[in-house]
């Protein structure tokens, strides 16, 4: 499939997607989001892919939703075009997604990074929700995922002032996993992907599902859910392989079965 606004490639078991609208700092128009979701779903269906890396390249992650596209929209047009349907598909991706963020991750760009499972940030990364300066609020999870990630006080400040935070602050408040020099971001994100890709795929997917479940359930229901997924993994060959390898003092060789 030919894409206009993203680039898709693979390195072994890692699927790589790069946002690619360099002239507008990877502004997320509906075409880009639609292509991104199609690419993610293709990797999700591909049994040889075990982890996905999402990058904006070595200058910027994404400066938000495409303001030009939204500027003259009416409430009815936005509602009836149901543009968040693609964003909803994004959160159904089962394989882990690691975002490699260089430069700005603003508005929808920050929301996209937060919709990923982990974030490796460059020292120059800036995370922010500047929608308030446009007379709107975040619409793709900024008030929800950010608050869960960094707590009410910080989220309120970021959303109400529109001021971005630095990569170091993002690390301090738990929004990102690690901060590395710009030139190492993709390498470090790739290493993280490779580490995950070496694990048993079913365990990885259910681990992701179970962690995400904790965001929208009570602790009691979440614990029940986790137990069911735990039982389920004992029907996989990879569970036998993992435990046999431990007993036999060798490295496990997971086959995704």
> CB 255 → ligand CO8: shortest distance, Å?
39
Whether residue 65 lies in the annotated active site: yes
Give the pairing type, strands 165-166 and 51-55.
unpaired
3 vs 20: CA distance, rounded Å: 10
Read off the tokens for 254.
């997971």
Count how many Cα atoms sit within 13 Å of the Cα of residue 239 in the half-sphere of its side chain: 11
- Quick one: DSSP state of residue 23? G
Is residue 182 near ligand CO8 by the rule CB under 6 A? no
> CB 37 → ligand CO8: shortest distance, Å?
12
Report the residue number, 137 or 232, with the smaller CB distance to ligand CO8.
137
Read off the tokens for 217.
């359930």
Whether residue 203 lies in the annotated active site: no
* Residue 71-110 contact track with ligand CO8, rule CB under 6 A, x = bound: ------------x--------------------x-xxx--
Q: Alpha carbon of 141 to those of 107, 111, 147, 159, 184: distances in Å?
A: 10, 6, 9, 12, 28
List the beta bridge partners of residue 128.
Answer: 106
* Residue 126-165 contact track with ligand CO8, rule CB under 6 A, x = bound: ----xx--x---xxx-------------------------
Report the residue number, 25 or 165, with the smaller CB distance to ligand CO8.
25
Whether residue 162 lies in the annotated active site: no
Q: Which of 156, 159, 154, 194 is nearest to 175 (CA)?
A: 154
Active site residues: 65, 108, 111, 131
Interacting residues with ligand CO8 (CB under 6 A): 24-25, 27, 63-68, 83, 104, 106-108, 130-131, 134, 138-140
């Amino acid at each position: 499939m030919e894409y206009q606004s993203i680039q898709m490639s693979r390195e072994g078991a890692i699927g790589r997607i790069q946002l690619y609208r360099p002239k507008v700092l990877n502004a997320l128009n509906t075409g880009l989001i639609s292509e991104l979701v199609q690419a993610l779903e293709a990797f999700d269906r591909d049994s040889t892919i075990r982890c996905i890396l999402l990058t904006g390249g070595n200058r910027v992650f994404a400066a938000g939703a495409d303001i030009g596209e939204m500027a003259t929209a009416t409430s009815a047009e936005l509602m009836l075009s149901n543009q968040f349907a693609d964003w909803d598909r994004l959160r159904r991706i089962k394989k882990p997604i690691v975002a490699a963020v260089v430069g700005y991750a603003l508005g929808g760009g920050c929301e996209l990074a937060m919709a990923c499972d982990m974030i490796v940030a460059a020292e120059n990364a800036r995370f922010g929700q500047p929608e308030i300066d446009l007379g709107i609020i975040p619409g793709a999870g900024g008030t929800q995922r950010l608050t869960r990630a960094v707590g009410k006080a910080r989220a309120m400040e970021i959303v109400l002032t529109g001021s971005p935070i630095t990569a170091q602050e993002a690390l301090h408040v738990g929004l990102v996993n690690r901060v590395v020099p710009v030139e190492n971001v993709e390498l470090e994100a790739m290493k993280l992907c490779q580490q995950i890709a070496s694990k048993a795929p079913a365990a990885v997917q259910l681990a992701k599902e179970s962690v995400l479940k904790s965001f929208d359930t009570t602790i009691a229901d979440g614990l029940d859910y986790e137990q069911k997924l735990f039982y389920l993994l004992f029907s996989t060959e990879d569970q036998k392989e993992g435990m046999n390898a431990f007993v036999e003092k060798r490295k496990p060789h997971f086959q995704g079965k």
